[in-house]
Amino acid sequence: MKVLITGGAGFIGSHLSERLVKSGDEVFVIDNLWTGKLSNISSIQGNERFHLVVDTILNEAVMNELIFKVDHIYHLAAAVGVRNIMDHPVETLDINVKGTETVLRLANKFKKKVFIASTSEIYGKHVEHSLSEDDNRVMGSVKKRRWAYACSKTLDEFLALAYHEEKKLPVVIGRLFNTVGPRQTGQYGMVLPTFVQSALLGRPITVFGDGNQTRSFTHVKDVLEAMTALMNEPLAEGEVFNIGSDKEVTINQLAIRVKELTGSASEIEHIPYDKAYGPGFEDMERRCPNIARIGNLIGFKPSFDLDTIINSVIEYFKQ
């Protein structure tokens, strides 16, 4: 099979590229290397079944050529990371909205199946329960740029489902929850690699807010299992699926566990959100998925526990 991965030199995209090349697929990657890295794909760059195009997904002529020649598209290209989004709101909206529109329009032109990588940010400020795919969303003010990413990805989902319903385009939407593992960096505000790097270097482990906010972490290999299985399941077309772990941990607990597993003497420090991101920043107090839908369809259940996930990130940075 021929596969296009947008953002294929990024954290998740590079792991997916490796997986598909090793399984015998011919893989085409487009990445502008804003957050992606050539080092992420160094192990497959010499493979005859791997092709890299360094360009933006907003280049319609290039995208037209790539989409024409493939069977499946994994659309992962997006602005990522809270800090990145806070610092570059215009680029965030451009890439996430215009880029996805380009992918879907050209995929429909050639009737190619598409996986849309969405996000748990879609749910906004929900705190009541584990998050189910059909739940309402609770967004903050449009004056708080924190929510630009969530709203842009919401529009991506609306557009993808509209293409499926009106044009019969085969699309699958996966809402990813805190995917972590080797190659993810803390450069754009990702919490686990930031904690691990700080602990290994003996620097303070910085927790934003009071640290009682909860998250659930899923190893990238589990996420890839889910994504590829959904793309190979016809019943997944036109549906939205949470992809993540249903095991919650507070950020304080995460910081303590990172400190223990690294054997670090680093202090754990708390910094107010305003100091970290500027006045008026809002965060989600809880983010844990209900994974019954994906479990019932493809039998998905995360196989990596939190300690294994943390240790994989520790080993990556030690190397």
What is the pLDDT, as a whole number, of residue 91?
79
In total, how many domains does the chain have? 1
Entry pTM: 0.94
Q: Find the mean pLDDT for residues 232-256.
A: 97
Q: Find the mean pLDDT for residues 49-77.
A: 97
CATH number for the domain that contains residue 124: 3.40.50.720
Q: What are the catalytic residues?
A: 149
**CA–CA separation, 193 vs 68, rounded Å?**
37
Whether 52 is covered by a domain: the verdict is yes
Whether 186 is covered by a domain: the verdict is no
Whether 46 is covered by a domain: the verdict is yes
Whether 98 is covered by a domain: the verdict is yes
Tally of CA atoms within 13 A in the half-sphere of 197 that contains its CB: 13
Whether 208 is covered by a domain: the verdict is no
Please give the DSSP secondary-structure letter assigned to residue 243.
E
pLDDT interval class at 188 (50, 70, 90): low
CA distance between the termini of the chain? 34
Contact yes or no for 192/220 (Cβ under 8 A) = no
Q: Find the mean pLDDT for residues 103-119.
A: 97
**DSSP strand E in 10-121: where?**
26-31, 50-54, 72-75, 113-119
Range of 151's domain? Answer: 2-179+218-246+289-304
pLDDT more than 90, % of the chain:
77
Q: Find the mean pLDDT for residues 221-250.
A: 97
